[in-house]
Structure 1
Amino acid sequence: MTTVDPTPRTYPFSAPDRLRLDPFYAELRKQEPVSRVQLPYGEAAWLATRHSDVRTVFADPRFSRAATVGKDEPRARPNPQQTGILTMDPPEHTRLRKLVAKAFTARRVEQLRPRAQRIADDLSRAMRRSGPPLDLVEEFALPLPITVICELLGVPYEDRTDFRVWSDAFLSTSKLSEQQVNDYIGQMRAYMAGLVEQRRERPADDLLSALIQARDEQDKLSETELLDLSVGLLVAGHETTATQIPNFVYVLLTHPEELEWLRADPDRIPAAVEELMRFVPLGVNAAFPRYALEDVELGGVLIRAGEPVLASLASANRDESVFEEADRLDLRRDSNSHIGFGHGPHHCLGAQLARMELQVALGTLLRDFENLRLAVEEPDVSWKTGMLVRGPRDLPVTW
C-alpha cells in the first residue's frame, strides 16, 4: 500500500481560471493519484485523479451513491441535494433510468437531429439579421438546447426565463444564498408539479406525459420520483449543453489552427466534439462522491468502508498514460477514450442528445459565420463565478 499524507488538502486547489485545469492535478497523477482533500462543506474525502481509478469509482458497485443519503457528504455548497436518481444505486437507479432511456437512444436522438438543425438555422438567421457584435450565449447557445428539451419533455418554451433562473439553484456554490437556492428549487418543483397536473388532464405526445402514464397506469415510480425526474431532465437537459457550446467556441477561437482544420471539412465535427469534451474541464471540482461499502484498494491506497471518494473527470481526461500530449487540444486525435460524460451506471443519460446538439451547433456556426471571432480581447471575456460549472457568462462575437 502507498503511504498518503493524512492531512487533507483544501479543494478545489485554486479558484477557477477560465478553462484552465489546475496543473496540480498532473502532479497528483504522478505522485499521489489517490489523495486526501477537504471541500468547503462536508467531511474529508479521497480524490482519485487517474483515468483507471476514476473509472473504477464510477463503475465498481463497491462504491455507492445511495450511501450518501444521511451523510455529511463532501460538497462545494452548504445545501446537500440528497434526493432523486443521482443518489440511487442499481437496481432502483436502473428502474428509473429505464423509464426515460428510450427517449435518449442514439436512434431516437438522430430522429431529433433535423428539428435541432432547423432551430439552429433559425437562430443563425436571427443573428445575421441583428448583425454583430452580439452575445453568443444569449442569442444561440441557450435557446438551442432549451428549445430541444422543452419540446422533448413537453415544457412551454415561453416559460424559459423562469426556469433558467431557477436552474441556477441546482448549480450554485456561492452565486446564490442558501435561502435563494431553497426558494428557487421550491419554485421549480411547484412549476413542474403544475405541469404534471396539466398533462394528467390533457396528455400529449411528450416525455412528461409518458412518465405520468408510467406513474398512474403502470405504478413504476412514485409521485416524488416523477417530480424529481422531470425537474432533473429539464435542468440537465439544457444547462450543461448551453454552457459547453460557448466553451467549445471559445476554445476554437483561441486555437485558430485547429479551427481552420475543422472548418475545412464538416465531417470532422463529430470527432472534434469528442476531443473538446475531453479537453474542456466543465466542472470546477470533482462532485457526486461515492461511499465505499467495504474496504477497497484504489490506486495503491486502502479506502475503508464508509469513506467517501471523489473522482475527477477533468483530471482523468488529461491522464498522460491514456492520452498522448494530454494537455494539448488535438482535433486529429485518433483514439479518444474520454469520460467527459461520466462512466458506469450514472453515465450521462442525455449524452447522445448533447453530442447531437453540440455537433449541430458547431456545424451551423462554422457554416454560416466564416470569420467568426471574439468581439473583445480574450482576457476581457466574462466568466461565471460561484457555480459548479465553468463557462462564459456571455461571449461577445463578431464576424
Structure 2
Amino acid sequence: MADFERSRLELDPRFGSVRRAAPVTRVRLVGGGEGWLVTGWEEARRVLADPVFSRALAVGRSAGARRETFIADMDPPEHTRVRRHAVTAFTHRRVRAMRPRIVEVVDRLVGVMVAGGAPADLVEGLCLPLPVVIICELLGVPEGDRRRFKEWSDAFLSVSAYSAEQVRDAHQSLDAYLAELIARRRAEPADDLLSALVRVTGQEGGLTEDELINLGVGLLIAGYETTASQLTNLSFTLLTHRELWERLVSEPGLLPVAIEELLRYVPLGSDTGMPRVAARDVELGGARIRAGETVVVARPAANRDEAVFGDAESIVIDRGDNPHLAFGHGIHHCLGAHLARLELQVAIGALLARFPALRLAVPESALQWKVGLSVRGLHGLPVTWTSDGS
C-alpha cells in the first residue's frame, strides 16, 4: 500500500476496492513491516477515538510518529493536559470574533489581485498569505519572521521530498525559533496565544518548556500549511467543475454546506496519516488486531464510504448530513477546525463575489503539483478574469 501516494487530488481507486472487500485490511506499511489499514468510516472513527489505539506507543517505531513531546503523538492524560491550554483559543466564540480580521485580510489580498490585474497566482496572492497572517497574529509571530516558515514547513511535512538530514534541520530550526520567540514573550508578554501559554509553563498542571515549543510548532504548521493547501485544492476543484462554481455564484448561501462537502471529497493528505499501535488485543471491522500491531487510518477513503455517504464518489454540493472525517475525530480532532472553516468560507466567498467568472489562466495539464509531502497541493494556481471582475 506504500504507493497509494498521489500528487494530484484523485483518490486511488484501490482504496475503494479494499474498503468494499473489508474495512480493515492487513497491509505492508511504508518503511517495512506489516500492519492494518482502516478504510471504513465506522472503523476509522473507532480508531481515532478509542484510547486502545495509542499514538504514544507508535513513537520511535512507526513512520509518521515523531516525538513524545509533540501533541499529536501523545495519549491521555498528557495529551489532555497539553491540549486544554490551547483549545480556548479555538472555541466557536473566539473564532467568530476573528471574522472581521479575516474579512479585512481577504479584502486586502483580493484588492491587491484586482489592482495588479489578470492573470494572478491564487496561491501566492491569497491561499498562502491568508493563513500565514492569521495564525501568526494569533500566536504572536512578528511580521518580519513569517516568510521563514515556508521552507521549514515543507520539510516538516516531507514524506520523500527532503532528505532525512533536511527534515532534521527543519525541526531543529523551528524548535530554535520557537524557543527564541518564547524567551522574548517571557521577557515582554503580549496579547497573543504564545504569551498566554508562556504564563502557564512550569505551573502545576501547566506545560513543560519542550511541550510549549512543540505545541507552538504544531499550531504554526497546521495553521499555515494545511489551510493554505486546502484553500488551493478547494479553489482548484471548483474552478475545474464549472457547474459547481456557477451554482455557488448564483446561490452563495450554499457556501458553508459546500465547504463541508468539498472537505469530505477532496483529500488533503497524500498518505494514511498518523499511525497508532494497539495497546491490547482488539476486534475491529471483523479483524483481530494483536497488541503491539500498527494501525493506520485512510480518512479520505473513509470519507467515501458508501454506507454513510450517498453517491459518495460525487461532489454533492448541497449535501445535508455530512459527518466527514477531514478534521479527524476524537481527542486528536483538529484544534483549528473552526478557524480553518472560517478562512475557507471567507476566502472562497470573496472569490465568488468579486470574480464570478474566474477561471484557470493556463491549461490544467500545465499546473505543477507538489510531490513527496504529506499534504497535497499546487505550487501555483494561475487564474484570470476580465477587467470588471467577470
TM-score bracket for the superposition, by shorter chain length: over 0.9
Match of 1:314 in 2: 300
Partner residue of 1:125 out of 102, 105, 111: 111
SS in 2 for 1:397: strand
SS in 2 for 1:35: strand
- The answer to whether residue 243 in structure 2 is matched with residue 257 in structure 1 is yes
Match of 1:11 in 2: 2
Offset of 1:35 from its aligned partner?
A: 1.2
Runs of 5+ consecutive residues of structure 1 not aligned to the other structure:
1-9
SS in 2 for 1:309: strand
- The answer to whether residue 85 in structure 2 is matched with residue 95 in structure 1 is no
Offset of 1:69 from its aligned partner?
A: 2.5
**Distance in 1 between residues matched to 2:191 and 2:129, nearest whole Å:** 22
Q: Which amino acid aligns with 1:380?
A: A
- The answer to whether residue 201 in structure 2 is matched with residue 215 in structure 1 is yes
Q: Which amino acid aligns with 2:298?
A: S
**Distance in 2 between residues matched to 1:93 and 1:43, nearest whole Å:** 28
**What's the CA shift string for 1:286-334, capped at 9, x where partnerless?**
1211111111111101000110100111001000111111010111111
- The answer to whether residue 56 in structure 2 is matched with residue 66 in structure 1 is yes
Match of 1:84 in 2: 70
**Distance in 1 between residues matched to 2:302 and 2:322, nearest whole Å:** 12
Aligned residues: 385
SS in 1 for 2:234: helix
**Distance in 1 between residues matched to 2:235 and 2:197, nearest whole Å:** 35
SS in 1 for 2:288: strand
Match of 2:388 in 1: none
**Distance in 2 between residues matched to 1:82 and 1:331, nearest whole Å:** 40
The answer to whether the 8 A contact 2:7-2:370 is kept is: no
Quote the sequence identity (%): 51
The answer to whether the 8 A contact 1:43-1:74 is kept is: no
Match of 1:7 in 2: none
Match of 2:25 in 1: 35
Q: Which runs of 4+ in 1 moved over 4 A?
A: 79-82, 216-219
SS in 1 for 2:379: strand
Partner residue of 2:260 out of 274, 279, 282: 274
The answer to whether the 8 A contact 1:62-1:293 is kept is: yes
Match of 1:170 in 2: 156
SS in 2 for 1:337: coil
Offset of 1:82 from its aligned partner?
A: 4.9
Match of 1:283 in 2: 269
Match of 1:355 in 2: 341
**What's the CA shift string for 1:333-383, capped at 9, x where partnerless?**
111111110001000011001001011111111111122110111122110
**What's the CA shift string for 1:80-127, capped at 9, x where partnerless?**
455411111111111111001010001100000110000000000000
Q: Which amino acid aligns with 1:49?
A: T
The answer to whether the 8 A contact 1:12-1:284 is kept is: no
Q: Which amino acid aligns with 1:308?
A: T
Q: Which amino acid aligns with 1:152?
A: L
Q: Please say which of residues 80-89 and 370-379 is displaced more in the overlay.
A: 80-89
Match of 1:4 in 2: none
**Distance in 1 between residues matched to 2:7 and 2:206, nearest whole Å:** 44
Offset of 1:169 from its aligned partner?
A: 2.0
Offset of 1:38 from its aligned partner?
A: 2.4
Q: Which amino acid aligns with 1:351?
A: A
Q: Which amino acid aligns with 1:303?
A: I
Match of 1:5 in 2: none
**What's the CA shift string for 1:41-91, capped at 9, x where partnerless?**
153210000000000100112111111134x2144xxx9455411111111
Offset of 1:275 from its aligned partner?
A: 0.4
**Distance in 1 between residues matched to 2:49 and 2:286, nearest whole Å:** 18
Match of 2:14 in 1: 24
Runs of 5+ consecutive residues of structure 2 not aligned to the other structure:
386-390
**Distance in 2 between residues matched to 1:136 and 1:314, nearest whole Å:** 25
